[in-house]
Structure 1
Amino acid sequence: MAFQSPLFSQLNGITAKDAKVARAFPIHAPAEAGEAPKGVDLFARFAFAGAVGCAITHGALTPVDVVKTRMQLEPEVYNRGMITAFRQVVSKEGSGALLTGLGPTAAGYFLQGALKFGGYEFWKKTIIEQLGMETAVANRGAVYLAASGIAEFFADIALCPLEATRIRLVSEPGFANGLFGGFGRIAKEEGLKGFYSGFGPILFKQVPYTMAKFYFFEIAFEALVKATGKQKEQLSSGAITGLNLTGGVISGCCAAFVSQPADTLLSKINKTKALPGETTTGRLVKIAQQLGLRGLFAGMGARFVMIGTLTAGQFAIYGDIKRVLGATGGYELAKAK
């Protein structure tokens, strides 16, 4: 019997001797082989990987974030280092206080991570297509900065209400019982303004932070791959994960330093309500003057630990999930170089 379909025509005339080979290496129709994701499907996978990475890392580091926020808001009380501050919080309020704000933290950074990582890949692709690959490679640092900055702007729109809720829960014990209670109380008492009173500071913090985060990660990862003496495709998945972790630590520490003053201002402005007629800009200037340079960098040690750890975790998780989902179709300017 001869096969008429072009898909199976190569089976015509197969001998018994070749049967073992045919069974060992079965022929798959193109539909069975599957195609690499592209378009909306590809960017949805990027977004999901980023959402999971950010939610897990920020959620896991909630205790560090609680202590860091307390050190920023009450430096006169929590002024003997991060370890002592941990002990002070536990002694006063119990170990459960270290998980204050876990709900809004996980939910907020799930949304933010999706828009940040997925948006970064989308805007990077858009910018590269506008510039052309040769120009983009020659100016890849500017491409990283622009793509991450735009992505973070939209991510912050989603993050701001949940970050305001988290800070209120941490700074005012007893304010509400968790995410839904805190979110509902702010909505009822202050409305939309209550959620977005810190939008300016959060942009001031998150946009430079994210720009530094992606820029330094891309540069560090490129250098780390070069140091191995191999092409990225020649490295094992374990080696890639290790490079993602190392690059994440480097980029996280750089990003933490760049964004620390704005992080302190964000914590302060969300703790107190605005006076009648007081603008957000006016409040920020007043708070900065009261704190001084030293006060703006309060809690820097805790934030280095927090941001360095979570950034390393984010890039490692992001890379691993992308690989599992087959989301490997993004533009890599270092590779093109």
Structure 2
Amino acid sequence: MSKNAQKPKSAIELYSPSYFAACTLGGIIACGPTHTAVTPLDLVKCRRQVDSSLYTSNAQAWRKIYATEGLRGIFTGWAPTYVGYSFQGAGKYGFYEVFKYYYGEKLFPNMPKTLVYLGASASAEFLADLMLCPWESIKVRMQTTIPPYAKTLRGGWTGVTEKEGVAGLYKGLYPLWARQIPYTMVKFATFEKTVEYIYSSLGKPKEAYTSLQQTGVSLLGGYIAALYIISHPADVLVSKLNADRKPGEGSMTAVGRIYQNIGFKGLWNGLPVRIVMIGTLTAAQWGIFDSFKVFLGLPTTGGH
């Protein structure tokens, strides 16, 4: 071990209930604030996904929104974003650590690591999206209606449930799963393998590096893992479905009608904005998550 390396020391036992609770809290801290911080990007992305002709650029969009709705308008949807992605972060990172441990160490100890990463991330995201979906539904509706159909989280919740009941909060669940589960599987598995590759290329084991250096590896691995665009068509459909689903229309019927209207090309509306947004988000989230683990004296994710 190098002279400056710091071996994590923690009162929290690895893979204990306290460990998984710490990872859950780390997921909340990593996801809620970061998603909220990029609300202006998310707002433009969602509106351009619904109507690609609405704005010519991000800068033009923000000028136009600020001129008509003020600074508050640029952050439309921040409250459901914060609540929803805090819940999602808890499920995504907390359950991922749970499933990775039980799949890889208890149930299938001889399974290749990559399959463990894929299975654990899919299971975690399935549950995380159940917690995210109601808040995502409110957020998307607030962001894709002009002027926004509600200005507050409470108003958004009431607006949906009074007209459609609680079921209205979950009408985008299947497209959300279609967007999030494949993306999270690729993102988490790629992150883990990227971190392994970085340490292998450096020629020293992970433990030979300081906590700060390990967190830097997490940031780099997170950004690389975020660049896959497999989930973007489903992301567009989530935005369109929440903005343009007719009363009583089934999910598959709505998806078919929307696809007929926008075509294959329309499934990629807003992609450049999303690449910037998701790349920055994912790198920040892994950096914050692993920094929190280091703060508690726990090892960073990946590379072991």
TM-score (norm 2): 0.91
Aligned residue for 1:306, secondary structure, equals: helix
Aligned residue for 1:204, secondary structure, equals: helix
Instruction: State the partner residue of 2:38.
Output: 61
Determine which of 191, 202, 216 is the counterpart of 1:217.
191
> In the alignment, is residue 260 of structure 1 matched against residue 232 of structure 2?
yes
Q: Which runs of 5+ in 2 are unaligned?
A: 1-9
Matched residue type, 1:199: L
Determine which of 204, 216, 221 is the counterpart of 1:247.
221
Instruction: State the partner residue of 1:15.
Output: none
Instruction: State the partner residue of 1:310.
Output: 281
TM-score (norm 1): 0.83
Checking the alignment, whether the CA contact within 8 Å between 1:82 and 1:301 is kept in structure 2 is no
Instruction: State the partner residue of 1:121.
Output: 97
1:37 Cα offset (Å): 5.3
Checking the alignment, whether the CA contact within 8 Å between 1:57 and 1:310 is kept in structure 2 is yes
Matched-pair identity in %: 37
Checking the alignment, whether the CA contact within 8 Å between 1:42 and 1:329 is kept in structure 2 is no
Matched residue type, 1:284: V
For 1:267-317, what per-residue CA distance to the aligned partner results, in whole angstroms no more than 9, with x for missing partners?
0000134244x2101111221222112110010000000000000000000
Partners of 1:181 and 1:327 lie apart in 2 by: 41
Partners of 2:69 and 2:135 lie apart in 1 by: 23
Instruction: State the partner residue of 2:4.
Output: none
1:224 Cα offset (Å): 1.3
Q: Which has the larger radius of gyration?
A: 1
With a CA cutoff of 8 Å and minimum separation of 6, indicate the structure with the bigger relative contact order: 2
Instruction: State the partner residue of 1:143.
Output: 116
Checking the alignment, whether the CA contact within 8 Å between 1:71 and 1:85 is kept in structure 2 is no
Instruction: State the partner residue of 1:71.
Output: 48
1:92 Cα offset (Å): 3.4
1:34 Cα offset (Å): 4.5
Instruction: State the partner residue of 2:290.
Output: 319
When the two structures are aligned, how many residues end up with a matched partner? 293
Residues 275 and 245 (structure 1 numbering): CA distance in 2 closer, same or farther, change over 3 Å? same
Q: CA RMSD in A?
A: 1.7
Matched residue type, 1:225: Y
Matched residue type, 2:166: L
Determine which of 101, 104, 107 is the counterpart of 2:83.
107
Q: Which runs of 5+ in 1 are unaligned?
A: 1-32
Instruction: State the partner residue of 1:87.
Output: 63
